[in-house]
Amino acid sequence: MSTDYIDNQSHMSDEDSGTYDEWIPSFCSRFGHEYFCVVPTDFIEDDFNMTSLAQDVPHYRKALDLILDLEEVSEDEDDIAERESQATNKYDQDGDQNMEGQIKEKDGKGKTQMVNHSIIEHAAEQLYGLIHARFILTKQGLQEMAEKFDHKQFGTCPRYYCNGMQLLPCGLSDTIGKHTVRLYCPSCQDLYLPQSSRFLCLEGAYWGTSFPGVFLKHFKALEDYVERKGKESYQLKVFGFKIADEAVSGQRMKWLRQYPSTEEEWDEFAKCEFELPKV
């Protein structure tokens, strides 16, 4: 299915011009965008998948056209007509020439159009990010993210006892502009910042809050693997002696990496099923 689609695309671009860049692949291959996977166009073209996104992103129609490489059609304000012409998905060389003519005529407006373009580019990036957050929760999206996960494209856990466990990208909010992307380690179940500074400014909502959870539930083998892993933890020592609990630097965070092991602890664990029991 998807290969078919790519074939179509390349065919189309050949017709258009020799050096025609498709928006989605070029966005995903940009430096620092290694966490993104390519969302297939048929996912985006399905209006059901886009439900309510029009309210979240400004210039929704134009941004969507840009993502789908349909932006050359026209500068017309008449969006509906535009959509109809795109629905056929093909337009001829003449249309392009007409548009060039229009731009020359509107030379005075040239500058505002340039500004518009960068605004729409920005809106397109936001829109793509939000579509991406939805896509990676689908079966196909999970598969593609799993491939990236296997290739350690999201990095590995910096924690020593996690033994280089691969990380999963994760948002702390599903709306844009709140938090940057974080990485979840399935082994220590903790959140980390990306090692490389180029990922530090990526918007977290482009992966969404549900992704690590859905990923863990979809690939059961991963959860089992993590459960079988060693549960070592570190304790600070001075000349081989542990530091007294009463000291200021005494151990305070053991619980963070603790797992039930004795029967008593498992009983206690069972009591924690629905609420925090009284201590």
Partner 1 sequence: MAEQNSMETRALSERDIDMTNELGSDSSEDVDMWIEIFLGRKGHEYFCEVDPEYITDRFNLINLQKSVAKFSQVVQYIVDNLDEDTLENMPRQRLEQLEKDARKFYGLIHARYIITVKGLQKMYSKYKDADFGRCLRVYCNFQPLLPVGLHDAPGYECVKLYCPSCEDLYNPKSSRHASIDGAYFGTTFPGMFLQAYPELTPKHPVKRYVPKIFGFELHKQAQLARWQEVQRLKLVKNLEEKNVNLSKNGGYKALE
Return residues touching partner 1 (CB under 8 A). Answer: 158-161, 170, 182, 184, 189-193, 195, 209-210, 212-214, 216-217, 223, 233-234, 236-240, 243, 245-260, 265, 268-269, 272-273, 275-277, 279
Nearer to partner 1, 70 or 216 (CB): 216
- The SS3 call for residue 149 is helix
- Output 62 or 182, the one with its CB closest to partner 1: 182
Q: Is the dihedral of CA 90, 92, 96, 102 positive or negative?
A: negative
CB of 98 to partner 1, least distance (A): 47
Asked if residues 133 and 207 have their Cβ atoms less than 8 Å apart, the reply is yes
Provide the β-strand partners of residue 156.
166
Q: Which is nearer to partner 1, 43 or 192 (CB)?
A: 192
Q: How far is the CB of 199 from partner 1 (least distance, A)?
A: 12
Q: How many whole angstroms separate alpha carbon 165 and alpha carbon 187? A: 7
In the bound state with partner 1, the residue whose beta carbon lies nearer, of 15 and 223, is: 223
Run of H or E residues at 17: none
Task: Find the shortest distance in angstroms from Cβ 263 to partner 1.
Answer: 14
Task: Write the single-letter amino acid at 24.
Answer: I
DSSP state of 191: E
Smaller CB distance to partner 1: residue 123 or 165?
A: 165
CB 6 within 8 A of CB 39: no
Task: Name residue, tokens 């993104």.
Answer: 36
Helix axes 79-87, 60-67, angle to 10 degrees: 20
Residue in the block written with tokens 């026209």:
74
User: Positive or negative CA dihedral for 204, 153, 230, 247?
Assistant: negative
Minimum distance between the CB of residue 31 and partner 1, rounded to whole angstroms? 19
CB of 149 to partner 1, least distance (A): 15
CB of residue 189 vs partner 1: minimum separation in angstroms? 6
Q: How many CB atoms lie within 10 A of CB 90?
A: 9
Query: How far is 73 from 62, CA to CA, in rounded Å?
Result: 10
Q: How far is the CB of 276 from partner 1 (least distance, A)?
A: 5
Smallest gap from Cβ 109 to partner 1, in A, equals 45
- In Å, the largest CA–CA distance within the chain is 83
Q: What phi and psi, each to the nearest 5 degrees, are found at residue 170? A: -160, 140
Q: Is the CB of 27 or the CB of 212 nearer to partner 1?
A: 212
Residue nearer to partner 1 on the CB measure, 129 or 155: 155
CB 140 within 8 A of CB 22: no
In the bound state with partner 1, the residue whose beta carbon lies nearer, of 129 and 186, is 186
